[in-house]
Amino acid sequence: MSKKSHISETPATALLKANKIEFTEHPYEYLELGGANHSAEVLGQDPFIVVKTLIMQDEAAKPLVVLMHGNRKVSTKNLARQIGRKSVEPCKPEVANRHSGYLVGGTSPFGTKREMPVYIEQTILELPRIFINGGRRGYLINIDPQVCVKLLSAQPVNCALED
């Protein structure tokens, strides 16, 4: 596995730097459909602290971002109820790519092409640090989860299901 000491800047890292947010970079060998469990394993981390960025949509096809523990699934029914929508479902990959400006598997909640409401699983905010995508496949950054609230106005929700 080749290790780069620095990954070229992404819209996500540019936004974090512009806001003077400290983060560390963690490149890893990307595996198609490997997901958060793969990146956690390769980086020697608990998948619970590796946060997935999911682009979903409501019944009116309005996009939204859900931040979830790497080893949990989203209860779309609970999420919809908590955010006052009739339904929520994952976007198709090509639709998610269009909304975020990132490729699925490399989606960061920071620096998205389109501004979308962000919802974060409440227990993520109780963690001291999280690993989250830095805007490229095979590239996680380590940050304080409160940054998600500060920069993205992420709303806490309670919609995790055991994976």
Task: Write down the pLDDT at residue 3.
Answer: 42
Residue 140: inside a domain, yes or no?
yes
Q: What are the pLDDT digits (tens) for 30-50? A: 998 888 999 999 999 999 999
Average pLDDT over residues 55-70: 98
**What is the Cα–Cα distance from 34 to 75, expressed in whole angstroms?**
21
Residue 128: inside a domain, yes or no?
yes
Residue 102: inside a domain, yes or no?
yes
Residue range of the domain that includes 156: 11-162
In 8-150, the DSSP E strands lie at 24-27, 50-58, 63-69, 72-74, 88-90, 118-121, 130-136, 139-143
Residue 5: inside a domain, yes or no?
no
Scan for tokens 């958060």, then name that residue. 36
What is the count of structural domains for the chain? 1
CATH for 119: 3.90.960.10
Q: What are the pLDDT digits (tens) for 109-157? A: 999 999 999 999 999 999 999 999 999 999 999 999 999 999 999 999 9
- CA 16 to chain CA centroid, Å, is 14
Label residue 162 by pLDDT band (50, 70, 90): confident
Average pLDDT of the chain to the nearest whole number: 94
Nearest to 102 by CA among 137, 50, 65, 70: 137
Residue 29: inside a domain, yes or no?
yes
Q: What is the pTM of this model?
A: 0.94
**What is the Cα–Cα distance from 28 to 152, expressed in whole angstroms?**
25
Residue 2: inside a domain, yes or no?
no
